[in-house]
Structure 1
Amino acid sequence: MIVKGLTVGLLQENCYIFGCSRTRSAVIIDPGDNARAILRLVEQQALRVEKIINTHAHFDHVLAVPAVRAATGAPFLLHRAELPILHDLPNRVRLWLDMDVDPVDDPDDFLEHGQIIQVGDEALEVRFTPGHSPGHVVFVHHAGRQVFAGDTLFQGSIGRFDLPGADGPTLLHSIREQLLTLPDDYAVYPGHGPATTIGYERVHNPYVGERASLR
């Protein structure tokens, strides 16, 4: 197993490269910006990118998708419910960053809850976790006891739910049903900020932890 992360873009988004050490197959999770740095890391690790898989379609997670897809030929996968978010990307970038960007083309295929993404000898389970966005998913690597959580669960926090298509109660339910049901020692690699663990957030998270006020 190979896991490499790098923080990209103005919103400091965490992109992850997940690969198989034997076959050198890899997927790129949430290429949000700076395609050159992402591709350089792939080359340094001598990996072959087979898929681009996204937790969701907010612009800070997908801006590098076109360049990475063009450079690698890898298909882009996303949950179908994220299409409205993806299609609104130019408007969101203009609103947030006062910049004009081209649209990102539709995915080559769609992710589904319970789907297994094979990466050489490794496997990622797709879990549907809406709330931060309507089609958000997370990727769970059970063999390595880790979850790539996108913008659901952060160290001491949770994803925003004041954005178009978001819903707070839905997000809390997703975290409790799809993340906090994992064992305590699972590492959580979020879309922003430092890594944490399921066990730490189960106790200390002010939104979903044992002493949380939002229930």
Structure 2
Amino acid sequence: MRTPNRDRRRFAIIALCAALIITLAIPSAGALNATYQVLPNGTSYTASVDLAGASKYMFADTGILGENVPITVTNVTLIAENGTPVNFNWTIMWSAPSVITFPKGNYTVTYIAPLHDNHLQGNYLSPYSVNVTMPGEYDVRNPLLAGISTGANVTRFQDNSTQVTWNKTMSFDLRFYDQNREELLYMFAEFMVILAVILLMPFLLMRKPPQN
């Protein structure tokens, strides 16, 4: 028996609505952002991280072996999509990263965390657009002093502040330096050149001139 055209249209409308609901329920890829601001003292940073369909967030860094290393955070705020602050619960365990829990949904979590050895990194469960901004006393353009994971785009502004961005990345790693370290590098390079000249001078003086 052949299905009437009106039944086909009904099924098509139902399928279209179901697909639309599924599409709206799943966050679009690449829509999440993570923004970091290195503070002027270089010992801490502010973070603003988008969360999609989340019910918890863990404050952790990545260790040498890829393990979660707890970090101490302050000024934690959870903001809903409509801009309203949301209450959350803290879970703190000994020697483990602290976790906040909240009703499942889309949020932005902001906090302040410490920095060690001018090193900032992040790992995500889905692609993020990452933006790291540093004040004018820091730089990343010297490859002998800095380290930047692949896919980064570096912009230096007129006020000497620096912005490093990654597009749709699952992780990032950034090491920056200050002017004092750059000056020490140049001093060391000059010292090595002078030392090389001193060591080569006796050899050059002992060379016999070519005979005619």
Q: For CA contacts below 8 A with separation 6 or more, give which structure has more relative contact order.
A: 2
Please tell me whether Structure 1 or Structure 2 has the larger radius of gyration of its CA atoms.
2
TM-score normalised according to structure 2 size:
0.29
* TM-score between both structures, scaled by the size of structure 1: 0.29
Higher percent of residues as strand: 2
